Structure 1
Amino acid sequence: MLDTLFQGLFDTALTDTIAPGKFLLCVGVSLLLGLMLCAMTLWRSRFSRSLTVTLAILPAVVCVVILMVNGNVGTGVAVAGAFNLVRFRSAPGSAREIGALFVAMGTGLITGMGYLAYGALFTLILGAAMMLYNAVSLRPGTGGSTERTLHITIPEDLDYAGVFDPILRQYARRYTLTQVKTTNMGSLFKLTYDLTLKDRNQEKAFIDQLRLRNGNLEIALGHQDSTAATL
C-alpha cells in the first residue's frame, strides 16, 4: 500500500520508481549538506537572510528535481527551461552570490543522482575553498582592505574634469570615475569614483583635501563591499 501511494499516476510497469526510504535519505543528506555549505559560505562574510535560506534549501530542491526527472529527457528539458526563466526574471546578483548558488545546485545534482558520498566530498572541498578565499581576502594589509568607493558632491558651476586628479594621485594608487549624476533638482553634481588607497590611515587627510576643492559639500568614502549581499 505504501509503495503504491508514492507511485505516479502515469507510471507504467517499465517505469523505475524511487523507494520512499531512498527518497528521504537523498533529501535529508541534501538538506544537511545545504546547511553545511551555508555555514561555510557565510564564514567571515555578510549575506542577506534570503540568500542564506536559499543556499540552505537549494541542494534539496535540485535533488528532488533530479530524482523526479529520473532519466526522462523531456522532463529534464522542461526543468532546465523553468530554471532559466526564474534566473532571468530575478535581479542579477554579484559574481560571489552566483558562484555560491552554482555550488549549491551542483551539490543537489550530485545527491539527486544518488552519489551521496561524492556530494559530501564536493561540499567539503568547495566550502573549504570559499572559506580559504574569504580568509585571504580579509587578511590585514591585502589590496581588498584599501579598495574604496568615493562620492563627491560639487556645485553645478564647478568643472569637475581633472579638478580632483592631483589629490587622487596623491592618496590613491589607482582611481576611476564610474558615474556622474545630477542631484538636488540639478543644482548639484555627484561624482562616484572607485579607487585603491595608498594608506588607510590617511583617509581623514584625503577627505580634508577634497573638501577644499568641492566647497565643503557632502563627501562619502566607504568600502566597495560595504553592503550585505542580497539575492
Structure 2
Amino acid sequence: MLNSIIGSEITLDAFLICTAVSLVLGIGLAFVAMYREKSSQSLALTLAVLPAAVQIVIMLVNGNIGAGVAVAGAFGLVRFRSQPGTAREIAVIFLAMAVGLATGMGFVVLAVLTFVLLGGMLMLLTLLHFGQKPESERTLRITIPENLDYDGLFDDILDNYTRGYELVRVKTANMGTMFELEYRITLPDETVPKQFFDELRCRNGNLTIQCSRSTAKEITL
C-alpha cells in the first residue's frame, strides 16, 4: 500500500497521478496555512504549487535525493530571503516540500497520510491555541529622561496594577537623552486601566508610553 508507483522508469500515467496528487495536497496545505491565521495571497499560491515543483525536481534528478532536496530547499526558502515570515509559515513550507518529496519518489499514499496527519495536527493545535500567550500578557514600553534612575522607578505602580512584571530591555533613545524601558507585564484582565497610564505618565514626565499585545516574532533567513 505504501509502495512507490514509480518503477525503474517514470511513465506518463505515474507522472500525471503524482502531479495531480501534489497539486491537490498543495491546495490543501494553503487552506491549512490560512486556517485562523492571516496569510498573504503569495504564500497561498506558493503552497499550492510548491509540492508539484518539488516533485518535478525530484523526478528530474532521477532519484538523487541529495541533489533534489538541496535544490528544492533553495526554492522553498526563496520567499524568506526577501520577506520576513513566521515560524508557522516556515513549518508549512517544509511540510509542502515533504509532500513533494514523497510524490516525486512515487509514494503517493505516504504523501496523503503525511498531509492528513501533520496538516490535521497543525489545524488542531491552532484551534486549541497551543503555545499562545495569554491575552492579558502585554509589552509595556516607557520613555524616561536620562536623569531618572530607572532601577525600581515604576515598581510600586506595577505592583498595584499587574499580576507580574519583568524588565526585559533598556535602551537609549533620542541621541542618548532618553531611556526606553521595556517590560513584560501580566494584567489582572484584558483591559488596561486608564488610572494605570495616568500614574505612569506622572512618573515619567508625560513622555511616550506604549502598551501592546505580545506578538510572534518574524523570522528571516
TM-score (norm 1): 0.74
Superposition map of 1:195-214 within 5 A: 195-214=185-204
Quote how far apart the aligned CAs of 1:160 are.
1.3
Going from structure 1 to structure 2, the CA distance change for 1:42 and 1:194 (only over 3 Å counts) comes to farther
Tell me the secondary structure at the aligned position of residue 128 of structure 2.
Answer: helix
Which residue does 1:60 correspond to in 2? 52
Tell me the secondary structure at the aligned position of residue 25 of structure 2.
Answer: helix
In structure 1, the gaps of 5 or more residues are 1-14
Tell me the secondary structure at the aligned position of residue 134 of structure 2.
Answer: helix
Quote how far apart the aligned CAs of 1:82 are.
4.5
Q: In the aligned structure 2, how far is the partner of 1:83 from the partner of 1:164?
A: 52
1:115 to 107, 125, 133: 107
Amino acid at match of 1:217: L
Amino acid at match of 1:124: V
1:3-53 alpha-carbon deviations (Å, 9 max, x no partner): xxxxxxxxxxxx944223322321222122111112122211123444333
**Does 46-55 or 81-90 show the bigger shift?**
81-90
In structure 2, the gaps of 5 or more residues are 1-6
Q: In the aligned structure 1, how far is the partner of 2:220 from the partner of 2:31?
A: 16
Q: In the aligned structure 1, how far is the partner of 2:109 from the partner of 2:175?
A: 61
1:124 to 96, 116, 119: 116
Which residue does 2:156 correspond to in 1? 166
Quote how far apart the aligned CAs of 1:203 are.
4.3
Quote how far apart the aligned CAs of 1:206 are.
3.1
1:175-228 alpha-carbon deviations (Å, 9 max, x no partner): 333332222222222222233322112443433332222212111211222788
Which residue does 1:224 correspond to in 2? 214
TM-score (norm 2): 0.77
Matched, 1:77 2:66: yes
Q: In the aligned structure 2, how far is the partner of 1:47 from the partner of 1:168?
A: 36
Quote how far apart the aligned CAs of 1:120 are.
2.2
Contact persistence 2:87–2:219 (CA under 8 A): no
1:141-199 alpha-carbon deviations (Å, 9 max, x no partner): x8532222222222222221221223333333443333322222222222222333221
Matched, 1:24 2:13: no
Q: How many residues align?
A: 211
Q: In the aligned structure 2, how far is the partner of 1:203 from the partner of 1:181?
A: 26
Tell me the secondary structure at the aligned position of residue 221 of structure 1.
Answer: strand
Tell me the secondary structure at the aligned position of residue 201 of structure 1.
Answer: coil
Contact persistence 2:86–2:218 (CA under 8 A): no
Going from structure 1 to structure 2, the CA distance change for 1:68 and 1:85 (only over 3 Å counts) comes to closer
1:26-85 alpha-carbon deviations (Å, 9 max, x no partner): 12221221111121222111234443333333222222222223333xxx3334444666
